[in-house]
Amino acid sequence: MSVSIPAPRSQRIDPKYKRGPKSHGSFEKLAWLFMRLSGVVLIVLIFGHLFTNLMVGEGISGISFGFVAGKWAALVWRVWDLVLLWLAMLHGANGVRTIINDYAEKHATRAWLKGILYVATIFIIVLGSLVIFTFDPCVTGSELAQCL
């Protein structure tokens, strides 16, 4: 004489609020994992970036167009900066997305803020990538020896 007891509240939830098997769940889980994996890699990339640009040689006083041209002459630093750009922007944008979800309570506000965030993020990633890929040591104003 077993009685089957329905799960608590199972009759009271409108089906449209139920989490289906393909809800946002897997995206949020991947985003959570990405924050941690990118964080570990970013430590190496950012510490290396700050060390080469601020700690060795003349540090901040040594930075100029010539300094950047010197660094980007080596493929390693172009790849370094490209990966840094993508990981830091995606990690930061995903973090800010979480914060918008937490504090913007009106649906319309949330949608607007996230729209601005995504447009700005894509713009910066595309711009930064183009700058690395199309870098020209002999742009206007360059006084490097090989350009004169």
- Count of residues near ligand HEM by CB under 6 A: 29
- Asked if 110 and 103 count as a contact pair (C-beta separation under 8 A), the reply is no
Q: Which stretch binds ligand HEM (CB under 6 A): 6-14, 38-46, 112-120, 136-144?
A: 38-46
77 binds ligand HEM (CB under 6 A): yes
The set of residues, in sequence order, having a beta carbon less than 8 Å from that of 94 and lying 6+ positions away, is 31, 34, 35
Q: Residue 105 touches which of ligand HEM, other proteins, none (CB < 5 to 8 A by kind)?
A: none
The answer for residues whose C-beta is within 8 angstroms of residue 8's C-beta and 6 or more apart is: none
DSSP one-letter string for 5-39:
PPPTTTTTS-GGGS--TTSTHHHHHHHHHHHHHHH
- Would you say 118 or 135 has its CB closer to other proteins? 135
Binder among 13, 43, 73, 120 for ligand HEM (CB under 6 A):
43
Please choose which of ligand HEM, other proteins, none residue 70 contacts, taking the beta carbon within 5 to 8 angstroms, the exact cut-off set by kind: none
Q: Which stretch binds ligand HEM (CB under 6 A): 4-12, 14-22, 31-39, 112-120?
A: 31-39
Please tell me the distance from the alpha carbon of residue 145 to that of residue 31, in angstroms, as a whole number. Answer: 47
